[in-house]
Amino acid sequence: MNHTIDLVKIRKQFPILEQQVYGKPLIYFDNAATTQKPQRVIDALTGYYTTINSNIHRGVHYLSQQATAAFEESRITVKDLINARFAHEIIFTRGATESINLVASSFSKKFLKPGDTVVISAMEHHSNIVPWQMACEEKQAGLKVIPIHEDGTLNFPELEKLLDKTCKLLAITHVSNTLGTINDIKRIIDLAHAQNIPVLIDGAQAISHINVDVQELDCDFYCFSGHKMYAPMGVGVLYGKEQMLNELPPYQGGGEMIKNVTFEKTTYNELPFKFEAGTPNVGDVIGLKEAISFIQEIGYDNIGKFEHELLIYATSQLQQIEDVRIIGTAPDKTSVISFLLGNIHPYDAGIILDKLGIAVRTGHHCTQPVIDFYKIPGTIRASFAIYNTKEEIDTMIAALKKIKMMFA
């Protein structure tokens, strides 16, 4: 689907963008933390709760059957989005964090033993560090870290060294939420698979920008959240290869994940239900389907091109301000810019930007090791989505110049 983007039409779909903050039109540049929701997603949520709210999979009555059908349609929509082989390879979770925790917990139970290692990278979000630390600690395994270069790219020679006989799994981000770096995931997976090492990809920052094909990538697990791709909060996805998911023990016990329960023995349900204990987040899963439709109607090619233009424009405008330091200058980036404004603390700059109606994120962005690597207090991060404009970037640039003068 190739057409130019009708920005006015797109922005009209996001009611939140029409408001003012402190008497200024809202400029929302915090999309890497969460994206805003189009009206159709909000309507899908309201529609569910006003017409078919019911518990799913277990009811013979009309509402339950309607809700079950809508829920399972969402699963097929996700399967098609990432080109999984089977719908039962799609597990619904609360977000990328829970997806990673699920794999870390279940995988380590089955496969990790003392002396083994798990490999992650230096650019990981805390969600792809802490669960592995916990798993390794419990199993007396080692956690090893692939270093990064000054520009925010991965050190491939070091990566290859770490993929040794002790390595039982590689867990790595597709896109860095702080640096914007897009990792060469296919190359990384091929290197790991050459050593028979399974790979988990944290796709939380990739899925709203990049067309992901899990069969082409050949990853073993792929995790992402709905709320960073225009869907509601509280819903996420774990994709796992059928064979891998069948080998893993369940993550949680309860209703839905069982086949047969006696006090002596329980047999577990088949995929995907084995990993979906309890009542799921039905309304938000239905909202996720609408968000995917929104993305697909615009098309990943168009989204990628448009956001790249915003990135290039914002980068060139920032570079014209004296004393701006951009953190993360990889040649291949998504529309995220982390930067510092002279010696002004990111938090101070962020507070003033907020008073001018501009929402950015400041701090370590749940990537403290990245911030420590650059020996900085944190960054100001502007992250762009399909509804942002060059005019909004101009407003931010003018505000940054004003802030510089205030601190001069």
Question: Which pLDDT score is estimated for 3?
Answer: 52
Residue ending a domain, choose from 279, 296, 313? 296
**Mean pLDDT within 226-240:** 98
Range of the domain at 245: 42-296
Residue ending a domain, choose from 261, 296, 331? 296
Whose CA is closest to 201, among 209, 193, 190, 189? Answer: 189
Question: Which pLDDT score is estimated for 2?
Answer: 42
Average pLDDT, the chain: 96
Q: Is the pLDDT of residue 162 over 80?
A: yes
200/173 Cα distance (integer angstroms): 8
Question: Which pLDDT score is estimated for 313?
Answer: 98
Residues 277 and 303 in one domain: no
Q: Which of 136, 167, 219, 366 is catalytic?
A: 366
**Mean pLDDT within 120-136:** 98
Residues 78 and 189 in one domain: yes
Residues 253 and 336 in one domain: no
The answer to whether residue 35 sits within a structural domain is no
Instruction: Report in angstroms the alpha-carbon separations of 231 from 41, 103, 284.
Output: 7, 23, 8
Q: Residue 389 — φ and ψ, nearest 5°?
A: -130, 160
Task: Express each pLDDT in 171-187 by its tens digit.
Answer: 999 999 999 999 999 99
366 is catalytic: yes
Residue ending a domain, choose from 296, 320, 348? 296
Give the total number of structural domains in the chain: 2
Residues 330 and 263 in one domain: no
Q: Check which CATH number belongs to the domain holding 328 and give it.
A: 3.90.1150.10
**Mean pLDDT within 195-201:** 98
The answer to whether residue 121 sits within a structural domain is yes
Split at pLDDT 50, 70, 90, the class of 1 is: very low
Task: Express each pLDDT in 50-82 by its tens digit.
Answer: 999 999 987 789 999 999 999 999 999 999 999
